[in-house]
């Protein structure tokens, strides 16, 4: 008697429809950064490349909905409505239950901080992280946006997502990337790619810590563990 939910149109990659005003509004939200948490109207307009009057109109709706707040001094900042979104995102993420345990294993085996990154536009986003047990350890927060150009995980994401990379051949051959003192002069990292069920790049599994613990003697072992962990993750995702 009944029909049931069809799959969405086969991946004809037909242009995704769009609504200008919505994308502009979201672009406003993306203007806030670490260290740029409060912005004046002009700063916001400049950062987004929009007219101030346009920003004011858009911000009206963002404010109503709780995504933006306006301080007494007139400066904008993000509103509390973003918190529930982040929570629901995590609850709905199928990766949560698979990746976090893997990070825990890796952090325990190595004593360093383990993290999982995905590419988000021209940046990499720390989706999950588990701190290592050592007192001196890499400090990192979930939800952080970091440059794609710097750090082992950034290299991995660049290479396997098809952006060019100066050391592409070497990294592909090794199956992992190493960075020493790139993003922070005292830190180092090792990372390897994780692939989804469809064989496409999902993200990078990374290990980071003080540069003194990532010397020539230690890196091969760490790299081996990271690569093994990434391979196990990819296999689990293929299965599950």
89 binds, among DNA, its own copies, none (CB under 5 to 8 A by kind): its own copies
Burial of residue 47 (CB within 10 Å: 0-12, 13-18, 19+) is: middle
Say if residues 158 and 151 touch (Cβ distance below 8 Å).
Answer: no
Q: Which is nearer to DNA, 52 or 86 (CB)?
A: 52
Total Cβ atoms within 10 A of residue 73: 7
139 binds, among its own copies, DNA, none (CB under 5 to 8 A by kind): none
Q: Which of 3, 10, 13, 34 binds its own copies (CB under 8 A)?
A: 34
Q: Which of 22, 170, 174, 235 binds its own copies (CB under 8 A)?
A: 22
Total Cβ atoms within 10 A of residue 42: 10
199 binds, among DNA, its own copies, none (CB under 5 to 8 A by kind): none
Q: Which of 45, 50, 67, 177 binds its own copies (CB under 8 A)?
A: 67
| Residue 166 binds DNA (CB under 7 A) | no
Tokens of 209: 């810590």
Number of residues near its own copies (by CB under 8 A): 64
CA atoms 35, 45, 68, 88: torsion sign: negative
In terms of C-beta distances under 8 Å and separation of at least 24 residues, what long-range contacts does 59-67 make, across chains too?
59/28, 61/25, 62/25, 62/28, 62/29, 67/29
Q: Which of 47, 137, 144, 168 binds its own copies (CB under 8 A)?
A: 144
Say if residues 231 and 213 touch (Cβ distance below 8 Å).
Answer: no
Residues of the chain by 3-state class (helix, strand, coil), percent to 5? 40, 20, 40
52 binds, among DNA, its own copies, none (CB under 5 to 8 A by kind): DNA
| Residue 21 binds DNA (CB under 7 A) | yes
d(CA 193, CA 202): 8
Stretch that binds its own copies, among 136-144, 156-164, 175-183, 184-192 (CB under 8 A): 136-144
Total Cβ atoms within 10 A of residue 36: 12
| Residue 237 binds its own copies (CB under 8 A) | no
| Residue 83 binds its own copies (CB under 8 A) | yes
Q: Which of 30, 56, 85, 136 binds DNA (CB under 7 A)?
A: 56
Say if residues 195 and 201 touch (Cβ distance below 8 Å).
Answer: yes
Tokens of 227: 């690569």
Stretch that binds DNA, among 8-16, 119-127, 151-159, 230-238 (CB under 7 A): 8-16
Q: How far is CA 199 from the centre of its chain?
A: 19
Q: Which residues bind its own copies (CB under 8 A)?
A: 5-8, 16-23, 25-27, 29-30, 32-34, 37-38, 40, 56-58, 60-67, 70, 72-74, 77-89, 91-93, 118, 120-121, 125, 127, 141-145
């Amino acid at each position: 008697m009944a029909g049931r939910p069809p799959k969405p149109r086969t991946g004809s990659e037909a242009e995704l429809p769009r609504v200008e005003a919505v994308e502009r509004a979201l672009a406003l939200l993306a203007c806030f950064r670490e260290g740029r948490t409060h912005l004046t109207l002009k700063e916001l307009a400049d950062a987004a490349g929009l007219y101030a009057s346009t920003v004011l109109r858009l911000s009206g709706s963002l404010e109503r909905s709780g995504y933006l707040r306006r301080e007494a001094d007139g400066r904008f900042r993000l509103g509390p409505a973003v918190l529930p979104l982040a929570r629901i995102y995590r609850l709905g993420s199928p990766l949560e239950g698979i990746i976090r345990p893997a990070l825990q294993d890796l952090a325990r085996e190595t004593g360093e901080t383990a993290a999982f990154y995905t590419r988000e536009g021209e940046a990499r986003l720390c989706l999950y992280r588990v701190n290592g047990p050592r007192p001196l350890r890499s400090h990192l927060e979930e939800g952080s946006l970091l440059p794609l150009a710097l750090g082992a995980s950034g290299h991995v994401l660049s290479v396997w997502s098809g952006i060019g990379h100066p050391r592409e051949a070497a990294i592909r051959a090794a199956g992992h990337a190493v960075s020493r003192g790139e993003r922070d002069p005292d830190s180092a990292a090792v990372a390897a790619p994780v692939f989804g069920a469809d064989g496409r790049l999902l993200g990078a599994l990374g290990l980071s810590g003080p540069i003194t613990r990532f010397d020539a003697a230690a890196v091969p072992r760490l790299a081996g563990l990271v690569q093994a962990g990434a391979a196990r993750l990819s296999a689990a995702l293929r299965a599950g």
